[in-house]
């Protein structure tokens, strides 16, 4: 009895975090992947992830922020827990649990070496259950974009309302009434104009530049109805 019980306890639980880092590039929602440099799946593109360090991480979110900075060189203005994924079959090394997060960043001007930004709807076969994790994150982001301030975290500040409008439309994959959109941005109350700052837009008169109010950074604002309501 005791030897059997001890044997079952010898199997160490693998506890990790994985991050779905999303941005909007060339009008497409893209995810960042890194090439694995060890087994299992050595050389395969995968989500940035890593073990939870129980001696330094106060929680899984701390671990996710650490992994994002160490492996992607980035700090996201928005990070949200997505779900947990667990079981004996997801990792060849043994029974594992991964707490997955998604993060949003404005499109970086210059990607770091080893970073691969790929459209979320044209991904190769990913190791572990990373394909499932990405699909769930994309669904969550697109659903929340219908009624919240989430897409603003894909903007490089400062930005114009037409630029923000284009990001919402690209994420949702549908046209958004401009008048309704402006009304909803007013309802959210998260933006403030940058004093005296405007940007020329072709033949149109210069547009006012905006930024996110400090009190709403890293938080989500909700609208009562859909953007086209």
Domain boundary among 130, 159, 180: 130
Helix axis angle, 130-145 relative to 161-172, nearest 10°? 130
Looking at the structure of the chain, the number of domains it has is: 2
16 and 121 share one domain:
yes
Predicted TM-score (pTM) of this structure: 0.90
Residue 141 inside a domain? The answer is: no
Query: pLDDT (tens digit, 9 = 90+) per residue, 5-29?
Result: 444 444 688 999 999 999 999 899 9
Q: Residue 199 domain-assigned?
A: yes
Establish if 63 belongs to a structural domain. Answer: yes
Task: Mark whether 57 and 163 lie in a shared domain.
Answer: no
The answer to the question of residue 52 being in a domain is yes
pLDDT in tens, 183-220: 999 999 999 999 999 998 766 789 999 999 999 988 89
Q: Tell me if 229 is assigned to some domain.
A: no
CATH number, domain of 59, equals 3.90.79.10
pLDDT for the residue numbered 225: 64
- The CATH number given to whatever domain includes residue 165 is 1.10.10.10
Mark whether 95 and 162 lie in a shared domain: no
Q: Are residues 15 and 110 in the same domain?
A: yes
120 and 195 share a domain?
Answer: no
pLDDT at 36: 95
Question: Are 179 and 113 contained in the same domain?
Answer: no
| 144 domain-assigned | no
Return d(Cα 104, Cα 22) in angstroms, integer: 5
Contact call for residues 133 and 123 (beta carbons, < 8 A): no
Residue 106 sits in the same domain as residue 14: yes
What are the residue ranges in the chain where pLDDT is below 70?
Answer: 1-11, 111, 202-203, 224-226, 228-229
Closest CA to 170 of 61, 19, 24, 53: 24
Q: Are residues 60 and 88 in the same domain?
A: yes
Paired strand residues for 83 = 100
Three-state DSSP at 24 gives: strand
Q: At CA 144, angle to CA 180 and CA 213, rounded to 5?
A: 70
- Rounded alpha-carbon distances, angstroms, from residue 5 to 87, 96, 136, 149: 20, 20, 37, 51
Strand, coil or helix: 195: strand
Final residue before a domain boundary, out of 99, 130, 161: 130
Quick one: which of 43, 45, 136 has its CA closest to 83?
Answer: 136
* Structural domain span for residue 176: 150-216
- Are residues 112 and 21 both part of a single domain? yes
Among 97, 130, 163, the domain-final residue is 130
Domain shared by 44 and 72, yes or no: yes
Supply φ then ψ for residue 59, to 5 degrees. -175, 180
């Amino acid at each position: 009895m005791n030897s059997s019980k001890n044997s079952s306890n010898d199997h160490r639980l693998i506890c990790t975090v994985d991050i779905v880092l999303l941005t909007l590039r060339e009008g497409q929602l893209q995810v960042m992947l890194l090439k694995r440099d060890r087994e299992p799946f050595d050389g395969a593109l995968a989500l940035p992830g890593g073990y939870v360090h129980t001696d330094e991480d106060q929680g899984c979110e701390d671990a996710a922020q650490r992994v994002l900075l160490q492996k992607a060189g980035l700090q996201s203005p928005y990070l949200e827990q997505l779900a947990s994924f667990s079981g004996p079959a997801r990792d060849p090394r043994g029974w594992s649990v991964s707490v997955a997060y998604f993060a949003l960043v404005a499109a970086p001007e210059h990607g770091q070496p080893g970073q691969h930004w790929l459209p979320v709807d044209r991904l190769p076969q990913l190791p572990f259950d990373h394909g499932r994790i990405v699909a769930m994150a994309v669904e969550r982001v697109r659903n929340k974009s219908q009624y919240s301030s989430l897409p603003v975290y894909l903007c490089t500040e400062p930005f114009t309302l037409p630029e923000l409008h284009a990001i919402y439309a690209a994420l949702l994959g549908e046209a958004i009434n401009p008048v309704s959109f402006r009304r909803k941005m007013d309802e959210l109350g998260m933006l403030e104009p940058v004093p005296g700052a405007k940007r020329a837009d072709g033949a149109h008169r210069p547009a006012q530049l905006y930024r996110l109010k400090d009190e709403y950074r890293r938080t989500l604002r909700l609208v009562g109805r859909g953007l086209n309501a």
